[in-house]
Chain A
Amino acid sequence: MSTVATETVTAPAVADRWYRVVWSSKKARVGIVVVAIYTLVALLAPVIAPYGPTDGSFTPLTGPSAQHLLGTNVAGVDVFSQVIYGSRVSLIVGLLGGLLATAIALVIGMVSGYAEGTFVDDVLTFLTNTALVIPVLPLIITLVAYSDTRGIPLIVGVIAFTSWAGAARSKRAQIITLRNRDFVTAAKFSGDGTFRIIFSEILPNMTSLVAAAFVGAATGAIGAEAGLAVLGLGSSDSVSWGTILYQADAAGAISQGLFVWVFVPGLVLAILITSMAFIIFGIDLLSNPHLRED
């Protein structure tokens, strides 16, 4: 008898597994597949790319050909290989920048929301609102411009440090709706500390919101890195899609009719960012069941 009862109780829960919900959205499926392909390309870059990303042994500034699908740049480097290797920079900056920015946003937003109305909240809210009104890109550019050697960690750090505010604000609003639920009161009475309540009692109830915030932050970080690199402020030890565009613009690629050199790096970037937006649609189905398709 008891086994039958448990089965009927658990059946609907299984049907609503989070990966099924996300996968049920056509947009999210497309997004996940595309991001998976990008990840594979990044991991297998040495196998897929015909030449090294810095191998300048070819005739400079040639148009597309069978040997060089996207032509070569001023230094005689194969642009197609650069694009393949460039996926590594975008994905790593997206992953790390997204994680770091989300972590900062979580700590500041959750603590501030949980302590709503107190002095701590006032200070953190002021910090958040200030970070929100300062234009991000000029600040990132100013911070990065001071360093001569720019590694990926510096770029990731600066992007995360400047772009957490929007997410922190929405986390604050979300925790305010959760913090007076019974399970929080129960945790309080059982003597749990504030940090424990926030991060191990309340946070698990916000997983899908946090996941959506992470993908959003990762998208922002990828866009910001591309913007920096287009200005020539990209990482000094690796080539990203933005760097390729910077080199193409500096070499006057367009006036020389080398169109694919400009077109393809921007296109692969746009496809990646669109796919990530699609994934967010899928994650939103978890936090808002009204959006689910039948």
Chain B
Amino acid sequence: MRYFARKIGFFVLTLWAVVTLNFLIPRLQPGDPAELMVQNLAGKNAQLNRAQVEAMRDLLGAPSGSLFSQYWSYLGQLAHGDLGISYTYFPYTVAEVIGKAFWWTVILVGAVQLLSFAIGILLGAFAAWRRNSRFDTSVTVISTFVGTLQPFWIALLLIYGLGYGLGWFPTAGGYEASTPGFNGAFLYDALSHAFLPALTLMIVTPIGWILGMRNTMIMNLGEDYIRLARAKGLPDRMIALRYAARNALLPSVAGFALALGGILGGTILVESVFDYPGLGRLMGEAVGIKDYPLLQGLMLLTAVATLVANLIADLLYGVLDPRARRAAA
């Protein structure tokens, strides 16, 4: 029980740290968002109109009062799911803008993460089982090399090859001809648009799992219980899958959440390259047009999503591995 209490305690503390960091970042920066927005509307060299800036500040609900009272009202707003108003999609709120992009990314990243996990675990386990075979060497060498490639570059190459060169897949956007909704035409349209972004991520993300799984599995294969299993005359298949691979899975489960943070980072660049209507492109867009409330909202959402995933992985780990529970007690 102590294990779970500690993990939940860590989650609450990190959540607080992330929320506070998100509050502090814009306040540590020079410049006034309201001033900036009026300047953008009026043109670069126009004289700033004080009254307009004041009006904009009220409109945006921009902070006033002491830092402490700002922090207090910020926490209150967050509790109500209020992330402020987007500069660019005005009058839509940040929460509404994010809500529109949310599912595009969740489905893309979710599918990629699960598939990469499965593929990576299988390849890694098999490479370790047939250690130093031709299969093992090629998997290790290819993974090490592909792991050094930048996702956005792979994205550009895929657009060139499979998009423009062969014309097999659409190269930008999330859908075009159909109306969003639950119908066959739209699903086909969305899937064909999601294919290249997903393929890009699928080339990069399994690598960590492959190499990690291979290493832990090789370590486990040297353990006494494997020797015992062999001495008992158990079939190879059973030793590989039920004994070695099953135990080697544990560190991968723990790494699942941390990898999610990495994928979300890669998604920003990949979605931007493909103009895919998800959270990543939204973030790239918010950077380009200095939509700070939107940027902050996205940062917070990404961080909280990773923290929640991390908590789930930690709790799951505690259930799966009794040693972890005992070590903390």
A266 and chain B: residue at smallest CB distance: B153
Chain B residues numbered 18-41 whose CB sits less than 8 Å from any CB in chain A: 18, 21, 25-26, 29-31
**Interface status of A129 (Cβ within 8 A of chain B):** yes
Verify B292–A138 contact, CB threshold 8 A.
no
A143 and chain B: residue at smallest CB distance: B25
B residues within 8 A CB of A248?
A: 156
Name B's interface SS. helix
Identify which of B73-81, B88-96, B143-151 touches chain A: B143-151
CB A164 to nearest CB in B, in angstroms, measures 15
* Contact with A133, one of B25, B157, B268, B307 (Cβ below 8 angstroms): B307
A residues within 8 A CB of B159?
A: 254
Question: How many pairs of residues, A versus B, come closer than 8 Å at their CB atoms?
Answer: 123
Taken residue by residue from 253 to 278, chain B's Cβ proximity to chain A (1 for < 8 Å, 0 otherwise) reads as 00001100110111011001100000
Identify which of B54-62, B238-246, B297-305, B316-324 touches chain A: B297-305
Query: Bound state CA distance, A250 and B60, in angstroms?
Result: 31
B residues within 8 A CB of A259?
A: 160
A residues within 8 A CB of B21?
A: 134
B residues within 8 A CB of A141?
A: 268, 283, 287, 295, 299
Interface residues on B, range: 35 or more
**Interface status of A226 (Cβ within 8 A of chain B):** yes
CB A259 to nearest CB in B, in angstroms, measures 6
Verify B269–A230 contact, CB threshold 8 A.
yes
Verify A142–B265 contact, CB threshold 8 A.
no
Identify which of B9-17, B125-133, B184-192, B215-223 touches chain A: B9-17
Chain A residues numbered 215-264 whose CB sits less than 8 Å from any CB in chain B: 223, 226-227, 230-233, 245, 248-249, 254-255, 257, 259, 262-263
A142 and chain B: residue at smallest CB distance: B299
Verify A227–B306 contact, CB threshold 8 A.
no
A219 and chain B: residue at smallest CB distance: B148
A residues within 8 A CB of B18?
A: 130, 134
A147 and chain B: residue at smallest CB distance: B29
Verify B145–A266 contact, CB threshold 8 A.
no
Query: Bound state CA distance, A6 and B303, in angstroms?
Result: 60
For chain A, the count of residues having a C-beta within 8 Å of the partner chain is: 39
CB A57 to nearest CB in B, in angstroms, measures 26
Query: Bound state CA distance, A147 and B287, in angstroms?
Result: 11
A residues within 8 A CB of B264?
A: 135, 137-138
* Contact with B299, one of A130, A139, A232, A233 (Cβ below 8 angstroms): A139
Query: Bound state CA distance, A85 and B10, in angstroms?
Result: 46
Verify B290–A145 contact, CB threshold 8 A.
yes
Query: Bound state CA distance, A270 and B152, in angstroms?
Result: 12
Query: Bound state CA distance, A273 and B273, in angstroms?
Result: 21
CB A26 to nearest CB in B, in angstroms, measures 13
Verify A232–B287 contact, CB threshold 8 A.
yes
Verify A133–B150 contact, CB threshold 8 A.
no
Verify A142–B296 contact, CB threshold 8 A.
yes
Verify A138–B303 contact, CB threshold 8 A.
yes
Query: Bound state CA distance, A27 and B144, in angstroms?
Result: 12
Verify A135–B261 contact, CB threshold 8 A.
yes
Verify A270–B268 contact, CB threshold 8 A.
no
Query: Bound state CA distance, A126 and B10, in angstroms?
Result: 8
Query: Bound state CA distance, A143 and B303, in angstroms?
Result: 14
Show 22 residue pairs from A and B whose CB-CB distance is below 8 angstroms, ordered by the A residue.
Answer: A126-B13, A133-B261, A134-B18, A135-B262, A135-B264, A135-B302, A141-B287, A145-B286, A145-B292, A146-B26, A146-B29, A146-B31, A227-B269, A230-B152, A231-B287, A249-B156, A254-B164, A254-B171, A259-B160, A270-B148, A270-B150, A277-B147
10 extra A-B contacts, CB within 8 A, seeds A232-B287, A262-B156: A129-B10, A130-B18, A133-B14, A133-B310, A134-B261, A135-B303, A135-B306, A137-B265, A230-B269, A270-B149
State the 6 A-B residue pairs at the shortest beta-carbon distance, nearest first.
A137-B265, A266-B153, A135-B261, A146-B29, A273-B148, A274-B148
The interface of chain B, by Cβ under 8 A from chain A, is 10, 13-14, 17-18, 21, 25-26, 29-31, 144-145, 147-150, 152-153, 156-157, 159-160, 163-164, 171, 257-258, 261-262, 264-266, 268-269, 272-273, 283-284, 286-288, 290, 292, 295-296, 298-299, 302-303, 306-307, 310
